[in-house]
């Protein structure tokens, strides 16, 4: 199997919020407006707010069409995200419309850190999606700077106002995410501000989460169960945990026939593409990609021996990520 540049279509991965999600990378590199401590895709390499067609719509949709033409595991939603902030791509609206043509009847979701919500063009493009999942980790300026590490000049109040404006314009589902880190944005002051904000925003759902995979920086530590319960009770109306992530989900795709070097090579590239975006356990990869766990474990051993992936232990579980992500 040869190592190639990673593709722009990855997964499907089992998402606790969306189910079986086929991912599209709109940046192709770690380009973002933030450099969040907890980011699963690693440290930001290009910190910018400049909107450009980083991945042209024609290129991404062509790769998606080719992916759909080949045998593939089933998926429930197409999610625009990837290695950076997808709203930086000025072709995002064209990409959403193209996905609808290629995957009729499949919902389109967009993950965003909310940083560009003050831009009317960004809001217009996001209104084309079925679901938008913005994040708002803290409304305390000092915590925002510490956790999200934004581009200099970023305005928390502009982000807040932009989200409220978008809510009034958007006819789809809005799922707000709050990710907590121990000792950083888990203060009572932040909770009070978030509670007032979510009451005004009225999202369809609030997901209070913490790190479940290795982040970009070692100082990022998961919030305690008690803290999660306190925030969930105030923001979600209950202290329930988020649905199980991929490492705890049942296999949902039929096993692939892994006989033959060509099929094994294709599986290996899909594994590398998926691990470039987020660390995952062997069982979660097997479930999402429809591969047998024994075959997947052998493949990960081979990729590790060749220096293409690395293993990190967090919370008693072993996560694999792509080297150089």
Tokens of 139: 């409304």
Task: Classify residue 125: in a domain, yes or no.
Answer: yes
Task: Classify residue 253: in a domain, yes or no.
Answer: no
Q: Are 212 and 245 in contact (CB under 8 A)?
A: yes
Q: Please check whether residues 190 and 309 belong to one and the same domain.
A: no
Q: Please check whether residues 42 and 119 belong to one and the same domain.
A: yes
- Model pLDDT, residue 244: 39
Task: Classify residue 296: in a domain, yes or no.
Answer: yes
- Model pLDDT, residue 262: 54
Which of 242, 272, 291 marks a domain boundary?
A: 242
- Model pLDDT, residue 307: 72
Burial (0-12, 13-18, 19+ Cβ within 10 Å), 294: exposed
Number of folded domains that form the chain = 2
Q: Are 278 and 25 in contact (CB under 8 A)?
A: no
Task: Classify residue 11: in a domain, yes or no.
Answer: no
Q: Please check whether residues 212 and 306 belong to one and the same domain.
A: no
Burial (0-12, 13-18, 19+ Cβ within 10 Å), 188: exposed
**Range of the structural domain that residue 29 is part of:** 17-242
Q: What is the pLDDT of residues 63-113, one digit of tens each?
A: 999 999 988 889 999 999 988 999 999 999 999 999 999 999 999 999 999
Task: Classify residue 169: in a domain, yes or no.
Answer: yes
* Domain CATH for 283: 1.10.10.10
Q: Please check whether residues 233 and 318 belong to one and the same domain.
A: no
Q: Please check whether residues 106 and 155 belong to one and the same domain.
A: yes
Q: Please check whether residues 140 and 267 belong to one and the same domain.
A: no
Name the stretches of the chain with pLDDT < 70: 1-6, 238-266, 269, 277-278, 288, 290, 295, 305-306, 314-315, 323-325
Radius of gyration of the chain (CA): 19
CA distance 134 to 63: 26
Q: Please check whether residues 227 and 305 belong to one and the same domain.
A: no
Task: Classify residue 77: in a domain, yes or no.
Answer: yes
Residue carrying structure tokens 């992936």 = 309
Which of 209, 242, 275 marks a domain boundary?
A: 242
What global pTM score does this model have?
Answer: 0.75
Q: Please check whether residues 153 and 289 belong to one and the same domain.
A: no
Q: Please check whether residues 34 and 97 belong to one and the same domain.
A: yes
User: CA neighbours within 13 Å on the CB side: how many for 273?
Assistant: 24
Q: 271: which residues sit within 8 A by CB, 6+ positions away?
A: 285, 289, 296, 299, 300, 303, 309
Helix (H) or strand (E) holding 198: helix 188-201
Task: Classify residue 293: in a domain, yes or no.
Answer: yes
What are the phi and psi torsion angles at 55 (to 5°)?
-120, 110
What 3-state DSSP class applies to 15? strand
What 3-state DSSP class applies to 152? coil
Distance linking the first and last C-alpha atoms of the chain: 19
What are the phi and psi torsion angles at 130 (to 5°)?
-85, -35
* Domain CATH for 109: 3.20.20.70
CA distance 83 to 71: 25
Task: Classify residue 280: in a domain, yes or no.
Answer: yes
Measured CA to CA in angstroms, residue 305 lies from 136, 163, 284, 323 at distances of: 39, 46, 21, 12
Q: 200: which residues sit within 8 A by CB, 6+ positions away?
A: 164
- CA dihedral of 78, 37, 43, 62, whole degrees rounded to 10: 10
Q: Please check whether residues 161 and 212 belong to one and the same domain.
A: yes
- Model pLDDT, residue 264: 60
Q: Please check whether residues 63 and 142 belong to one and the same domain.
A: yes
CA distance 155 to 218: 26
Measured CA to CA in angstroms, residue 44 lies from 30, 33, 35, 149, 325 at distances of: 5, 9, 5, 10, 10
Report the 10 Å Cβ neighbour count for 169.
11
Q: Please check whether residues 97 and 54 belong to one and the same domain.
A: yes
Which of 195, 212, 242 marks a domain boundary?
A: 242
């Amino acid at each position: 199997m040869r190592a190639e540049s990673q593709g722009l279509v990855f997964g499907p991965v089992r998402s606790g919020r969306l189910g079986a999600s086929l991912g599209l990378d709109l940046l192709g590199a770690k380009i973002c407006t933030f450099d969040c401590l907890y980011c699963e895709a690693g440290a930001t390499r290009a910190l910018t707010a400049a909107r450009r067609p980083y991945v042209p719509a024609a290129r991404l949709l062509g790769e998606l069409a080719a992916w759909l033409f080949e045998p593939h595991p089933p998926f429930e939603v197409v999610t625009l995200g990837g290695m950076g902030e997808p709203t930086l791509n000025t072709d995002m609206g064209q990409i959403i419309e193209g996905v609808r043509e290629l995957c009729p009847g499949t919902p389109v979701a967009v993950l965003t850190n909310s940083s560009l919500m003050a831009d009317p063009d960004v809001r217009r493009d996001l209104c084309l999606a079925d679901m938008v999942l913005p994040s708002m980790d803290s409304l305390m300026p000092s915590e925002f700077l510490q956790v999200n590490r934004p581009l200099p000049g970023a305005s928390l109040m502009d982000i807040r106002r932009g989200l409220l404006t978008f809510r009034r314009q958007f006819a789809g589902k809005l799922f707000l995410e709050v990710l907590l880190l121990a000792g950083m944005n888990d203060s009572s002051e932040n909770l009070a501000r978030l509670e007032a904000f979510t009451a005004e925003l009225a999202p369809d759902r609030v997901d209070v989460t913490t790190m479940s995979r290795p982040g970009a920086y070692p100082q990022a530590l998961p919030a305690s169960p008690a803290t999660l319960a306190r925030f969930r009770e105030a923001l979600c109306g209950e202290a329930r945990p988020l649905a199980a992530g991929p490492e705890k989900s049942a296999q949902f795709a039929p096993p692939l026939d892994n006989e033959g070097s060509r099929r094994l090579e294709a599986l290996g590239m899909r594994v590398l593409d998926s691990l470039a975006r987020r660390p995952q356990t062997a069982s979660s990869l097997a479930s999402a990609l429809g591969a047998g766990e024994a075959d997947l474990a052998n493949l990960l051993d081979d990729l590790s021996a060749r220096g293409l992936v690395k293993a990190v232990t967090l919370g008693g579980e072993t996560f694999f990520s792509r080297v150089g992500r």
